[in-house]
Amino acid sequence: MALKDPKIKLSDALNIDSIVAFIEFLQRESGDIPWHTEGKTDPWDLIETIMGLNIGNRFDISCRAFEWLKNIQNPDGSWYSAYMNGTPSDRTRETHMAAYFSVGLFHTWLMTGDIALLEAYWPTMENGINYAISLQTSGGEIYWAKSPEGKVDSMSLLTGASSIFMSLKCALAVATLLGKKRRSWETAFSRLGHSIRKTPHHYNVSKSRFSMYWFYPILSGAVTGETAEHRMDKYWNKYVIDGQGVRCVSDQPWVTIAETSELVLALHGMGRTEKAGIVFSWIQDRRYEDKTYWCGYTYPDMVIWPEEKISWTNAVAMIAADAIYAITPASKLFSHQSWEGFVYKGLLN
């Protein structure tokens, strides 16, 4: 089913109620939402899950998750990389995890227009952004983490930096809505964007086997226009199995629903809307009987792996569907064009 025909029903491509019910089932009393029933929680993927819940209009659940994140934030603005049943299981403090709170917060505002929500979580968002940019180098890139012992790991990751770029865009949008000015964020945003576009060799190239390394600079809007077109086309065959989806890593026959959905967002964001729909159509039969998505599968033997149903995988499929079908007011969050007219347009150049 190639989604070229505008008459194709959304219900044929996505079952929102099933996915929301699955995520609600996973949520603990604290507000925490793990990857799966026995799984860990990480702050970045929890924000993805929050955005999926927003699309399903379950702000009661998503706000409980926001509150859990607020309550467990470290004094320096970071979160730990992983939690099990609310207890830290990996005390690494990653910069992109600290910053991504702003994307979920801005997404919620796009859905609700709730300024009070922005005000309530401004300190949490501000502290997370400040932690991330505190590890920015003179060249503009941002180191990826501090170790559990507090030592800065002097490695920069292109995928993580691209995520922080998107986070800074959303943080600046929130600041504008609240009438606040953060010059340090604007400077960090400008320098980071320049670094991603002009000095990609400063980033750890060993991660280039991951498909996110390819499309995240486009997904985040750090790379746009002709440069984005060239990057998308140049590496397409390295990461994509046509008719199936996106490999998580280029040298393994493992197609993942999350990366495929994120590629849909990158394609749609850069204006390749028809191609985005086609790619999204490839994963429509990669679902369980309850209409929730697989995490991934091996190709060509078509073995589902892993077998667990993952909260954030299902959430990002909803975000991709929102981009294609314009289900909600937040559907253009990743659209390059939608950001061009924003108040800080000059920072994108």
Mean pLDDT score across all residues of the chain: 94
The whole-angstrom separation of Cα 154 and Cα 135 is: 9
- Amino acid 347: pLDDT: 43
Q: For residue 282, with 0-12 CB atoms within 10 Å meaning exposed, 13-18 middle and 19 or more buried, which class applies?
A: buried
Q: What is the mean pLDDT of residues 125-136?
A: 98
- Amino acid 195: pLDDT: 98
Domains present along the chain, CATH in parentheses: 10-348 (1.50.10.10)
pLDDT band at 1; cut points 50, 70, 90: very low
The whole-angstrom separation of Cα 112 and Cα 328 is: 10
Q: What is the mean pLDDT of residues 76-98?
A: 98
Q: What contacts 19, CB < 8 A, 6 or more positions away?
A: 52, 56, 291, 292, 293, 314, 315, 317, 318
CB 96 within 8 A of CB 167: yes
The whole-angstrom separation of Cα 101 and Cα 51 is: 11
- Amino acid 341: pLDDT: 63
pLDDT band at 138; cut points 50, 70, 90: very high
Give how far Cα 144 sits from Cα of 106, 160, 322, Å: 23, 7, 30
- Per-residue pLDDT reduced to its tens digit, 225-235: 999 999 999 99
Strands of the sheet containing 93-94, edge to edge, are 93-94, 143-146, 152-156
CB 317 within 8 A of CB 283: yes
- Amino acid 13: pLDDT: 78
Q: For residue 172, with 0-12 CB atoms within 10 Å meaning exposed, 13-18 middle and 19 or more buried, which class applies?
A: buried
